[in-house]
A and B are shown apart, each in its own frame.
Chain A
């Protein structure tokens, strides 16, 4: 069975600063996908970024980038130039064989 661990239940960052959210996972699979999802308060969950395990290059999406270390089974999310709208709960997720496993989430607060 896969496990996903997010060791930071809560984090805060000043607007315009950079913050990194941690995620580690455990699996014996070699072919899988990793995702970061964002769930703002009382709003729907949306995809932030995804990484294919077979790709060595780290994924980037505008202000969001990941540091994917396959051997270490680590998948951290870096948010640059944080904005107030980034305030949300962030979930790291692992997908294999049609099943997603989510971490417990990190609540990020961006302060003005």
Chain B
């Protein structure tokens, strides 16, 4: 199994809603990542979990709250988002958080904030 599975594929939410994005991998990878990608732009790193601990937070606003319940699961909790947060949210994993790990990406969750 070489997949990173993200749900939901599409999400529309209002600015007062609370929702969550979910990511799952069963490759035994110990590093997991959240990226934000706008159209025709590169992915922007948001968070990195290494061995289930948050190791990198790229100064992301607190309305985004990551959670790593176990080594296979990664969630991104969303609350009080702004329209400019509309984007494709990509989850990725790698074998470890070290230099050499290629990233395995999910298909993404396309978020629209109204």
From A11-19, A38-46, A63-71, give the one contacting chain B: A38-46
Number of interface residues of A (CB under 8 A): 26
- Closest-by-CB residue of A relative to B102 is A47
Measured CA separation A95–B101 after assembly (Å): 8
Beta-carbon contact of B100 and A46 below 8 Å: no
- Chain B contacts with A in 13-30, Cβ cutoff 8 A: none
Beta-carbon contact of A35 and B41 below 8 Å: no
Beta-carbon contact of B99 and A95 below 8 Å: yes
From B63-71, B77-85, B104-112, give the one contacting chain A: B104-112
Chain B residues near A (Cβ < 8 Å):
31, 40-43, 45, 48, 50, 55-56, 90, 97-108
Chain A residues near B (Cβ < 8 Å):
31-33, 35, 37, 43-47, 50, 52, 89, 91, 93, 95-100, 102-105, 107
